Structure 1
């Protein structure tokens, strides 16, 4: 269910109505939310009748996208925006042209690990037929399960998982550095097999499995698969900070979602 949801209460009737409509629209981008705040400013308010808005800002906390992707904090803020004011009267917001916004998204280590249990992610980890994996498994598909990520300083992380083979499971462990490709694809650079947590008799096969899993990870996380309705996110930089992974970039807003749409 949706948690505390607020909108700026200042301004005249037109501005308050616009805040309300924007709040209802943004709310339906998320499956759940602890709090979402939408603030739209327009001064003087008479500009609103011409569809001119000075600034639009959204801040969300503990929101869930597509039921499984937990975001601790998300915000984006635009400069001037042009809208069709008549659309507000019908309970929606229609942009006259797409607009860009500065964006920031904060994920937690726990949220990242939960995402690895989502169906959209699991299907990239199960019943794999990579030639190296098939050779190890005697011709049977291989699946990776129980993925656990630990965030480290300097954009590094550790990843632990299990590879399910026909004759049992093999633990795998790797370290890597996070990077971004084309502002949308998350890369796990310079993956290194970390043998300390793997039994000595399994290290040979575990190292091969770890290399294969690193290649799978690099093809898995593409922001275009997680776009919100009408909002395309792009990353300029990322940073690990304690148990948080912080993305800074921009959002290309093509349209506002309709208030009746549920994600």
Structure 2
């Protein structure tokens, strides 16, 4: 019964078993994204008879213009696993179930537009609204402070410019402008180092309070992006390095995959 799965070739010369696995994997991975322009999957397995034991040499995926959880855009994403041990019976059911964990090297590219859209996502805006830390309430006369209209511009050498504003009862709308350097801590947290207040971008009448607000905003951002806070259903992500390249932010790292998300 299973001999044909790993032995038959289609008219294009491809192995039927690999094609079936590619189809199942593509369907599973597409369901992880709210939207996707393209998702391509390639399974390497030689000899193909190893599929019967669920052994795969590597598993490659590449996607373009992906949207995660409706609000978080990704320009490009790709990964390639080490050898994978699958439960082959799950493939016949249209699912992917790992016999044991595997690792994958990964690259994620975000555009400047993706980053700015993410600052409008509810998951992010709620971290920037109604903040009542003593440092901020002292500036606002005891009222919670909200940072709005956040815009980022990617700069060379892993820097970015951050513009935002807040409204205070005694000062009205106060603009904020600063630069910071992006870095990676413990392979899981994106930190905003060396915040530098841009004096000339803010009216002189509110520069003093704007500078104090920029320090507070930098601290909030510095503690916001921690991969351990994102439950990816059996996938642990780690970043080895990041780099700004024009209007793109490129992450390189790896994933420890305990189970294929959404396949159970």
Q: CA RMSD in A?
A: 1.4
Q: How does 1:28-43 map to 2 (within 5 A)?
A: 28-43=31-46
Cα-to-partner distance string for 1:30-88 (whole Å, 9 max, x where unaligned):
01001000111111110100111011000010001111010000000012111110111
Distance, in Å, in 2 between the alignment partners of 1:81 and 1:143 is 47
Equivalent position to 1:47, from 46, 50, 57: 50
CA contact (8 A) 1:11 1:45 kept: no
Counterpart of 2:217 in structure 1 is: 213
Following TM superposition, the consecutive aligned residue runs of length 4 or more in structure 1 with deviations greater than 6 angstroms are: none
Q: Which has the larger radius of gyration?
A: 2
- Higher relative CO (Cα under 8 Å, sequence separation at least 6) belongs to 1
The alignment status of 1:130 with 2:133, answered yes or no, reads yes
Question: Any unmatched runs of 5+ in structure 1?
Answer: 1-8
CA contact (8 A) 1:142 1:163 kept: yes
Q: Secondary structure of 1:256's match?
A: coil
Q: How does 1:1-263 map to 2 (within 5 A)?
A: 11-167=14-170, 168-258=172-262
Pick closer, same or farther for the CA change 1:10–1:195 going to 2, 3 Å: farther
Cα-to-partner distance string for 1:205-235 (whole Å, 9 max, x where unaligned):
0011000000000111112334544332210
Query: Higher mean Cα deviation, 222-231 or 244-253?
Result: 222-231
Q: Across the two proteins, how many residue pairs are aligned to each other?
A: 252
CA contact (8 A) 2:32 2:262 kept: no
CA contact (8 A) 1:92 1:258 kept: no
TM-score by length of 1: 0.92
Question: Any unmatched runs of 5+ in structure 2?
Answer: 1-11
CA contact (8 A) 1:87 1:93 kept: yes
Q: Secondary structure of 2:187's match?
A: coil
Q: CA deviation at 1:90?
A: 1.1
Q: Secondary structure of 1:30's match?
A: coil
Distance, in Å, in 2 between the alignment partners of 1:158 and 1:10 is 52
Q: Secondary structure of 1:29's match?
A: coil
